[in-house]
Amino acid sequence: MSIELIDFELRGEYITLDALLKATGLAQSGGAAKQMVGAGLVQVNGQQELRKTCKIRDGQVVAVQGARVRVTAAPGGK
């Protein structure tokens, strides 16, 4: 089983967890993203995350259903 690796570039200081899942296509909608988080299917930096609007910042890694998203700051800072 292979893991899909996704690099996501921030456009600001942070993105909320549900918005990140939707923006990367890991969730079909914001509602689906919230359900995934609420069901305990999402990890942030290796720890289960249940806060749907948790702020995801530069350097964090989000894992869900065979995919890992590495979040990086946009070139030039925040």
**Cβ contacts of residue 53 below 8 Å, gap of 6+?**
16, 17, 18
Q: How far apart are CA 69 and CA 13, in angstroms?
A: 17
Mean pLDDT within 66-76: 90
Positive or negative: CA dihedral 65, 25, 34, 61: positive
Task: Give pLDDT tens digits for 3-39.
Answer: 899 999 999 999 999 999 999 999 999 999 999 999 9
Predicted pLDDT of residue 75: 80
Domains and CATH numbers, the chain: 4-72 (3.10.290.10)
Task: Give pLDDT tens digits for 32-64.
Answer: 999 999 999 999 999 999 999 999 999 999 999
